[in-house]
Amino acid sequence: MGLDLPYLRLGVNIDHVATVRNARGGSHPDPIEAAMLAIEAGADGITAHLREDRRHIRDDDIAQLKATITKPLNFEMAATDEMVAIALQTRPNAACLVPEKREEVTTEGGLDIRGHQSRIQDIAGMLKSHGIRVSLFIESDPKQIETAAEIGADIIELHTGRYCDETGSARAEELSRIQQGAVIGHDLGLECHAGHGLGFDTVGDIAAIPQLVELNIGHFLIGAAVTMGLKPAVQEMRRYMDIARKTIA
């Protein structure tokens, strides 16, 4: 008997199109054009992270994405007053709160929402009162997940970076932690997403977690676009996700 599985959305993160653009200044390649191509190829949403140092996505990219794309915008942001103000002005479909340290290469580890509960709760309340869905990027830790529910988040995005980096039994343990986190989150009424570091070889086991409804994938897809083109890369990722979903249906 088949499971009644929710559709698994693919959110494409276009940050690193902006990284390449910014390497030379100017306007090429255009992250907005990339977002539109990703949508044409089957992306269900677009994610962009406006970092404090604007190393890739810039303020005008966010405004243009909101004005142009035909699918939901997931705005990744640090829990700062500046980013809250931009989110309230932009009104993305969702805001995903992530940890951010100026010196880190990418988002390392999930947000410690237990350690900053009242601040995150205030920000979540402000965003929600403006109709923005609140997503919290956290480790798959039962205590963090319970705190997300207490805060009133709509969504948790479970960090898959360590799963992708590890091998052997450490990877299996990490997968099991993510699977358990998705069950806990789902049982608490949270919409469960996952992302970070996923590629063709790692997406299958994550896509097969039945409680997940969205994966957010960026760096690998933009890298694959160099060799195979963005649309084929998005379509191929979609194919891997669909195969994984079918194996558990």
**String marking each residue 175-194 x if it binds ligand PXP according to CB under 6 A:** --------------------
* 163 lies in the site for ligand PXP, by CB under 6 A: no
User: Active-site residue among 56, 76, 186, 193?
Assistant: 76
139-131-116-216 Cα dihedral, nearest 10 degrees? 20
**Tokens read off for 73:** 């915008």
**Of 186, 238, 233, nearest in space to 213 by CA:** 186
196 counts as catalytic: yes
214 counts as catalytic: no
Sign for the CA dihedral angle at 116, 117, 122, 126 comes to positive
**Of 162, 249, 241, nearest in space to 205 by CA:** 241
**Tokens read off for 82:** 């500046």
56 counts as catalytic: no
For the segment 205-234, give every residue that binds ligand PXP (CB under 6 A). 216-220
User: Active-site residue among 16, 159, 186, 196?
Assistant: 196
Q: Which amino acid is at 57?
A: I
Q: Which of 8, 10, 14, 15 binds ligand PXP (CB under 6 A)?
A: 15
For the segment 24-63, give every residue that binds ligand PXP (CB under 6 A). 49
Would you say 167 or 169 has its CB closer to ligand PXP?
A: 167
User: Active-site residue among 49, 159, 186, 193?
Assistant: 49
CA dist 62 and 56 (Å) reads 11
Would you say 137 or 163 has its CB closer to ligand PXP?
A: 137
Would you say 54 or 249 has its CB closer to ligand PXP?
A: 54
* 144 lies in the site for ligand PXP, by CB under 6 A: no
Collapse the DSSP code of 4 into the 3-class scheme (helix H, G, I; strand E, B; otherwise coil) and give the result. coil
Beta carbons of 72 and 94 less than 8 angstroms apart: yes
Q: Which of 65, 69, 98, 132 binds ligand PXP (CB under 6 A)?
A: 98
Collapse the DSSP code of 37 into the 3-class scheme (helix H, G, I; strand E, B; otherwise coil) and give the result. helix
Q: Which of 44, 61, 76, 141 binds ligand PXP (CB under 6 A)?
A: 76
Would you say 59 or 249 has its CB closer to ligand PXP?
A: 59
CA dist 238 and 215 (Å) reads 10
* 106 lies in the site for ligand PXP, by CB under 6 A: yes
Beta carbons of 47 and 74 less than 8 angstroms apart: yes
Q: Which residues are part of the catalytic machinery? A: 49, 76, 196
Site residues (vs ligand PXP, CB under 6 A)? 13, 15, 49, 76, 96, 98, 106-107, 137, 157, 195-198, 216-220
